Amino acid sequence: MKRGLDGPAPEERPTPAGRRNKQGIRIDPEVEATHEPRRTVISALVEHEPGVLSDVSGLFSRRQFNIESLTVGPTEDEDLARITIVVEEPDPGIDQVEKQLRKLVPVISVRELEPDAMRRELALIKVEADRPDQVAAVADMYDGNTVDSSPETATIEVTGARQKIEAAVDTFSQFGIREISRTGTTALARGTDQTAAFGTAQPATEANHDRQSTQSADDD
């Protein structure tokens, strides 16, 4: 008995010429749009309630978003907290991050910060104290403070943009680094521009895909 259905076989069927890329975007023969990953900062204002951090971090892991750092802390309003997330994703991914975050009920508003937003990170760097003068000189160079010292170690606090912290860590490594602890990035929009406020849950028409440059948000 016959197994299957009648009809022209696959190779006898016409196939359209067009195609889509991996991001589901129809390939226009003239411009092939594929978005490369870029690093950006997303700020979310959330209700300060138990479980919200795990909601957010769980969302990132189960949707396989490429997360660089995530920081959380209280705000001027004791009922609200701000979560600052640095992600590295192509534009459609960044768009998804924002939309998925917005879906969480305790999330009040979400926004991608402009490249010129202020971004800061804090690092504690514990180094060998064999050459205390030079350690102090390097700390100075990075506006660092020595927050603890012992006969064998010195711990320096450095704040600044990620690149600055990285440069500091690099320079301190000549003394021998014992331990490092870093906070990850926290950020605020510049001037009167509001980082994330009530009522900014934008109607998600289409995300702004033109935002190209991400360079130097870090203006130190």
Residues at the interface with other proteins (CB under 8 A): 1-10, 13-26, 47, 50-51, 54-55, 58, 62, 92, 95-96, 99-100, 102-108, 201, 203-206
Of the pair 51, 176, the CB lying nearest other proteins is at 51
Sequence-distant (≥ 6) Cβ neighbours of residue 26 within 8 angstroms: 18, 19, 20
Of the pair 57, 163, the CB lying nearest other proteins is at 57
Tell me, what DSSP letter sits at residue 28?
Answer: P
Of the pair 23, 181, the CB lying nearest other proteins is at 23
Give the integer Cα–Cα distance in Å for 124 and 126.
7
Give the integer Cα–Cα distance in Å for 129 and 14.
74
Length of the chain: 220
Give the integer Cα–Cα distance in Å for 79 and 19.
49
The minimum distance between CB 127 and other proteins, in angstroms, equals: 39
The minimum distance between CB 109 and other proteins, in angstroms, equals: 9
The minimum distance between CB 198 and other proteins, in angstroms, equals: 9
The minimum distance between CB 87 and other proteins, in angstroms, equals: 15
Of the pair 47, 166, the CB lying nearest other proteins is at 47
β-bridge partners, 188: 118
Give which of 206, 203, 201 is closest to 106, Cα–Cα: 201
List helix spans (H) across the chain: 52-62, 91-103, 132-141, 162-172
The minimum distance between CB 17 and other proteins, in angstroms, equals: 7
Of the pair 92, 115, the CB lying nearest other proteins is at 92
Tell me, what DSSP letter sits at residue 10?
Answer: G
